[in-house]
Amino acid sequence: MRVDEGDKINILGIDLHRVDYEEACKRVSDYLKLNTCRIIVTPNAEIIMAARTDKEIKTLINSSDICLPDGIGVVLASKILGKPLSERTTGFDFMMKMLVLANEEGLSFFLLGGKPGIAELAGNKIISMFPNVRIAGTYHGYFNKDEEHEVVNRINENRPDILLVAMGYPKQEMFMLNNKEKLKVRVAMGVGGSLDVLSGTVRRAPVFMQKAGLEWLYRLVTQPSRFKRMSVLPIFLIKVVMERLFFKKGY
């Protein structure tokens, strides 16, 4: 099952699904009844901009089963294009809603990514918050291409229901989508730095900033090294405006 074409918005070549958390969770529930691996990606403005110049990544993202818009920049872009998203979604918050679902159904997770030890800390936090969730296994994200086969085997040996991949763009997307036919999980989701947050090594923005769509500002203040990455947001919005004014595609 895939999201209907009518539920998509194309932003600079990336097909994003116009679903809220409730609808996305329903789709995950359906995926969990199947025996094939379904992929969830959560591109933000930075990732969409990067995918414009990388055809392989663009193709991979557009072949995902759920492409959930992440970040205030994508929300603003949807409004500019005249097809506003039903609500602002973030990869972290959707991951937490998946954990609520998993807790109700007693599902298992494999946590992949972060520096050595981070996934284990995140797993302990998950268990403390969601006692009915089982952590089937963990593995750090610092492995090379030659070790990828071994990592896939380790995941499959533990037979988790859901795989969370926290290796950042584009490594996590390439890992999931290139190994989709090999992974013996029912859902795999790219979660970026979410395991760092769960582990307690990185703090998320205060709730009022999250609600105001200012998480990007909090990250910039607390991690000035991200300035170059953050500077892509105004360029992204300018390109969206240009796309709307001069191309006027059917979004």
DSSP state of 138: E
* Residue 82 to residue 123: CA distance in whole angstroms: 41
pLDDT exceeds cutoff 80 at 179: yes
pTM of the model: 0.88
* Residue 80 to residue 245: CA distance in whole angstroms: 10
User: Tokens standing for 237?
Assistant: 């919005």
* Residue 108 to residue 185: CA distance in whole angstroms: 10
Residue 137's pLDDT band, with cuts at 50, 70 and 90, is very high
pLDDT in tens, 50-94: 998 898 889 989 999 999 998 888 989 999 998 888 777 889 999
- 17 contact partners, CB below 8 Å, separation of at least 6: 3, 7, 8, 24, 66, 67, 68, 69
Arithmetic mean of pLDDT, 170-177: 94
Higher pLDDT, 17 or 215: 17
Q: What is the pLDDT of residue 244?
A: 86
Q: What is the pLDDT of residue 213?
A: 67
Domains of the chain, by residue range, sit at: 5-246
pLDDT in tens, 190-244: 999 999 999 998 877 677 676 666 665 656 666 665 556 667 888 898 999 998 8
